[in-house]
Amino acid sequence: MTQPDSLEQLRDLTRAFAQERDWQPFHTPKNLAMALTVEVAELAEHFQWLPTGAAHELDARAQEGIRHELADVLLYLVQLADQTGVDLHAAALEKIALNAAKYPAQQVRGDARKYDQY
């Protein structure tokens, strides 16, 4: 099997994985959104109580756990986008453009406040 190199190929791989297991009835948008939040919480758990979460604070076991949780987040996100008809690539580009308008670089450089606070 060739490795997927696009979100579409990853989507197709997750579809096939679920179909082989007859999991489609469980992969509703609600269930996928809930599973996504659980995986994000599991990701955050690896950083809990660390001063910053920088690489030098993470041992090999933590790095592996983070890698696996990030993969879970991505896979659920891809499946949720598939179930809701969202083109993730297009949505990400759209959101970057919206954020660029909200946060003009010359106005917000070095300032972490939300767009409605400056």
Per-residue pLDDT, 97: 97
Residue 5 has pLDDT above 90, yes or no: no
Q: What DSSP state is assigned to residue 111? A: -
Contacts of range 39-46, beta carbons closer than 8 Å, 24 or more positions apart: 39/69, 39/72, 39/73, 39/76, 40/73, 42/69, 42/72, 43/69, 43/70, 43/72, 43/73
Q: Kindly tell me if the per-residue pLDDT of 1 is higher than 70.
A: no
> What amino acid occupies position 44?
A
Check: CB of residue 7 under 8 Å from CB of residue 79: no
Domains of the chain: which residue ranges? 7-110
pTM of the predicted model as reported, rounded to 2 decimal places: 0.89
Taking the C-alpha atoms of residue 118 and residue 112, their distance in angstroms, rounded to an integer, is 10
Quote the pLDDT of residue 81. Answer: 98
pLDDT digits (tens, 9 = 90+) for 15-34: 999 999 999 999 999 999 99
CB-based contact 38:69 (threshold 8 Å): no
Dist CA 9 CA 117 (whole Å) = 41
pLDDT tens profile 36-93: 999 999 999 999 999 999 999 999 999 999 999 999 999 999 999 999 999 999 999 9
CATH 1.10.287.1080 fits 7-110, yes or no: yes
